[in-house]
Amino acid sequence: MPSFHRPFGRISATAAVTFTLALVLAACGSTGEDAAPTAEPSDATTSVTPSAATSSGALAGTAPESTDRGPLLTVTINGEEVSPNVEEFELGTGEKLLVEVDSDRAGELHVHSAPEQFIEFAAGTTNTEIVVNTPGTVEVEDHETSAVVAIIEVR
Protein backbone atom coordinates (compact mmCIF):
# COMPACT_ATOMS: atom_id res chain seq x y z
CA MET A 1 0.00 0.00 0.00
CA PRO A 2 1.58 3.28 -1.05
CA SER A 3 2.25 5.65 1.81
CA PHE A 4 0.19 8.74 1.56
CA HIS A 5 2.61 11.60 1.44
CA ARG A 6 1.07 14.99 1.87
CA PRO A 7 2.81 18.01 0.47
CA PHE A 8 4.64 19.70 3.31
CA GLY A 9 1.95 22.24 3.90
CA ARG A 10 2.99 25.15 1.73
CA ILE A 11 1.19 27.65 3.88
CA SER A 12 2.93 26.42 7.02
CA ALA A 13 6.34 26.50 5.40
CA THR A 14 5.75 29.97 4.03
CA ALA A 15 4.63 31.17 7.42
CA ALA A 16 7.76 29.77 9.04
CA VAL A 17 10.10 31.29 6.48
CA THR A 18 8.40 34.67 6.64
CA PHE A 19 8.54 34.63 10.42
CA THR A 20 12.23 33.80 10.39
CA LEU A 21 13.02 36.42 7.78
CA ALA A 22 11.25 39.00 9.89
CA LEU A 23 13.29 37.97 12.91
CA VAL A 24 16.56 38.11 10.99
CA LEU A 25 15.75 41.53 9.59
CA ALA A 26 14.87 42.77 13.03
CA ALA A 27 18.12 41.36 14.39
CA CYS A 28 20.18 43.01 11.63
CA GLY A 29 18.39 46.27 12.23
CA SER A 30 19.23 46.30 15.89
CA THR A 31 23.00 45.99 15.41
CA GLY A 32 22.92 49.65 14.41
CA GLU A 33 22.05 50.58 17.98
CA ASP A 34 24.51 51.84 20.48
CA ALA A 35 26.66 48.88 21.42
CA ALA A 36 27.79 50.09 24.82
CA PRO A 37 25.71 48.54 27.58
CA THR A 38 27.06 50.80 30.31
CA ALA A 39 26.18 54.08 31.97
CA GLU A 40 26.39 57.52 30.48
CA PRO A 41 29.67 59.48 30.67
CA SER A 42 28.29 61.77 33.37
CA ASP A 43 28.29 58.87 35.82
CA ALA A 44 31.99 58.33 35.44
CA THR A 45 32.87 61.08 37.87
CA THR A 46 31.33 62.34 41.02
CA SER A 47 31.03 65.53 43.02
CA VAL A 48 33.93 67.31 44.64
CA THR A 49 33.52 67.53 48.42
CA PRO A 50 34.28 70.86 50.17
CA SER A 51 37.57 70.10 51.81
CA ALA A 52 39.87 67.13 52.03
CA ALA A 53 40.97 68.02 55.55
CA THR A 54 37.63 68.20 57.35
CA SER A 55 36.27 65.31 59.37
CA SER A 56 32.92 63.56 59.11
CA GLY A 57 29.77 65.36 58.18
CA ALA A 58 31.05 66.59 54.83
CA LEU A 59 28.29 66.88 52.29
CA ALA A 60 28.25 64.84 49.15
CA GLY A 61 27.23 67.26 46.43
CA THR A 62 24.78 66.22 43.77
CA ALA A 63 26.13 67.70 40.57
CA PRO A 64 28.60 65.42 38.78
CA GLU A 65 31.85 67.16 37.89
CA SER A 66 35.10 65.87 36.53
CA THR A 67 38.20 66.43 38.60
CA ASP A 68 41.60 67.23 37.16
CA ARG A 69 43.09 64.12 38.64
CA GLY A 70 40.62 61.69 37.10
CA PRO A 71 37.50 59.83 38.22
CA LEU A 72 36.66 60.15 41.89
CA LEU A 73 34.46 58.03 44.11
CA THR A 74 33.21 59.72 47.24
CA VAL A 75 31.86 57.39 49.87
CA THR A 76 29.90 58.82 52.77
CA ILE A 77 29.19 56.64 55.77
CA ASN A 78 26.87 57.77 58.53
CA GLY A 79 26.23 54.90 60.90
CA GLU A 80 24.26 52.39 58.83
CA GLU A 81 23.62 54.77 55.96
CA VAL A 82 26.08 54.43 53.14
CA SER A 83 26.14 56.44 49.94
CA PRO A 84 26.34 56.40 46.95
CA ASN A 85 23.85 53.72 45.94
CA VAL A 86 25.82 51.91 43.23
CA GLU A 87 27.64 54.58 41.28
CA GLU A 88 28.88 53.35 37.92
CA PHE A 89 32.38 53.91 36.57
CA GLU A 90 34.24 52.92 33.43
CA LEU A 91 37.99 52.49 33.65
CA GLY A 92 40.82 51.01 31.71
CA THR A 93 42.99 48.31 33.22
CA GLY A 94 45.66 49.91 35.36
CA GLU A 95 43.78 53.21 35.48
CA LYS A 96 43.40 54.83 38.90
CA LEU A 97 40.08 55.49 40.58
CA LEU A 98 40.52 58.02 43.37
CA VAL A 99 38.52 57.21 46.45
CA GLU A 100 37.57 59.53 49.26
CA VAL A 101 35.82 58.06 52.26
CA ASP A 102 34.05 60.28 54.79
CA SER A 103 33.03 58.07 57.65
CA ASP A 104 31.97 58.23 61.26
CA ARG A 105 33.55 54.87 62.00
CA ALA A 106 36.51 52.75 60.99
CA GLY A 107 35.96 50.03 58.45
CA GLU A 108 37.04 48.72 55.09
CA LEU A 109 35.94 48.74 51.49
CA HIS A 110 35.98 45.43 49.71
CA VAL A 111 36.85 45.58 46.03
CA HIS A 112 35.70 42.45 44.17
CA SER A 113 38.43 42.44 41.56
CA ALA A 114 40.51 39.42 40.59
CA PRO A 115 42.40 39.24 42.97
CA GLU A 116 40.31 41.02 45.61
CA GLN A 117 41.45 44.18 47.33
CA PHE A 118 40.72 45.72 50.70
CA ILE A 119 40.80 49.43 51.48
CA GLU A 120 40.86 50.29 55.14
CA PHE A 121 39.61 53.62 56.40
CA ALA A 122 39.43 55.26 59.79
CA ALA A 123 36.79 57.59 61.20
CA GLY A 124 37.14 60.88 59.41
CA THR A 125 38.32 61.37 55.87
CA THR A 126 40.53 58.93 54.04
CA ASN A 127 41.96 59.47 50.58
CA THR A 128 43.14 56.49 48.61
CA GLU A 129 42.91 54.92 45.18
CA ILE A 130 41.83 51.72 43.47
CA VAL A 131 43.61 50.17 40.51
CA VAL A 132 42.23 47.09 38.77
CA ASN A 133 44.49 45.18 36.41
CA THR A 134 42.11 42.51 35.19
CA PRO A 135 39.17 43.35 32.91
CA GLY A 136 35.72 42.69 34.23
CA THR A 137 32.94 44.10 36.33
CA VAL A 138 34.10 44.98 39.82
CA GLU A 139 31.82 45.72 42.78
CA VAL A 140 33.02 47.97 45.57
CA GLU A 141 31.22 47.51 48.85
CA ASP A 142 31.41 48.64 52.43
CA HIS A 143 32.46 45.53 54.30
CA GLU A 144 30.43 46.01 57.44
CA THR A 145 27.07 46.90 55.92
CA SER A 146 27.60 45.01 52.63
CA ALA A 147 26.28 48.04 50.77
CA VAL A 148 27.54 48.26 47.21
CA VAL A 149 28.79 51.80 46.65
CA ALA A 150 30.14 51.46 43.13
CA ILE A 151 30.39 49.15 40.17
CA ILE A 152 33.44 49.64 38.00
CA GLU A 153 33.57 48.30 34.48
CA VAL A 154 37.18 47.66 33.63
CA ARG A 155 38.14 47.17 30.01
Partner 1 sequence: MFPLILPMHGLGGGADLPIPASFAIAGGTAALALSFVVLLLAWRTPRFATPGGERAIPFELAAILDSRSWTLSVRVLGMVFFGFMLWPALFGPDLLNNPTFGVVYVWLWVGVVPASLLFGRFYRAVSPACTVHLVLSKAAGRQPSEGTRHYPAWLGYWPAAVGLFAFVWLELVSPQATYLGPVRTWFAFYLAAMLLGGVIFGERWLERADPFEVYSTLLAHLSPWARNDQGDLVWISPLRHLARVPGEPGLVATVAVLLGSTAYDSWRESVTWIRFVQSGGIDQTVLGTAGLLTAVTVVGVVFMAASMATGVDDGADRRRVPRQLAHSIVPIVVGYMVAHYLSFFVQVGSQTLIQISDPIGTGANLFGTADWEVNYWFSQHATLLASTKVVAIVSGHVLGVIAAHDRALEILPRRHQVAGQLPLLFTMVLYTYMGLYLLFGA
The residues of the shown chain that bind partner 1, judged by CB under 8 A, are: 6, 8-9, 11-13, 15-17, 19-20, 23-24, 26-28, 30-31, 33-37, 39, 80, 82, 85-86, 88, 110, 112-116, 132, 134-139, 141, 145-148, 151, 154-155
CB of 110 to partner 1, least distance (A): 7
Give least dist CB 147 to partner 1, A.
5
| Comparison of 7 and 69: residue with beta carbon closer to partner 1 | 7
8 A C-beta contact, residue 91 and residue 62: no
Residue nearer to partner 1 on the CB measure, 127 or 134 = 134
Rounded least distance, CB 140 to partner 1, Å: 9
> How many whole angstroms separate alpha carbon 17 and alpha carbon 15?
6
Helix (H), strand (E), coil (C) string for the chain: CCCCCCCCCHHHHHHHHHHHHHHHHHHHHHCCCCCCCCCCHHHHCCCCCCCCCCCCCCCCCCCCCCECCECEEEEEEECCEEECCCEEEEECCCCEEEEEEEECCCEEEEECCCCCEEEEECCEEEEEEEECCCCEEEEEEECCCCCEEEEEEEC
Q: Which is nearer to partner 1, 94 or 115 (CB)?
A: 115
Residue with smaller CB distance to partner 1, 129 or 144: 144
Farthest-apart Cα atoms in the chain, separation: 97
Q: 129 or 139: whose CB is closer to partner 1? A: 139
Closest CB 128 distance from partner 1, rounded Å? 20
CB of 51 to partner 1, least distance (A): 28
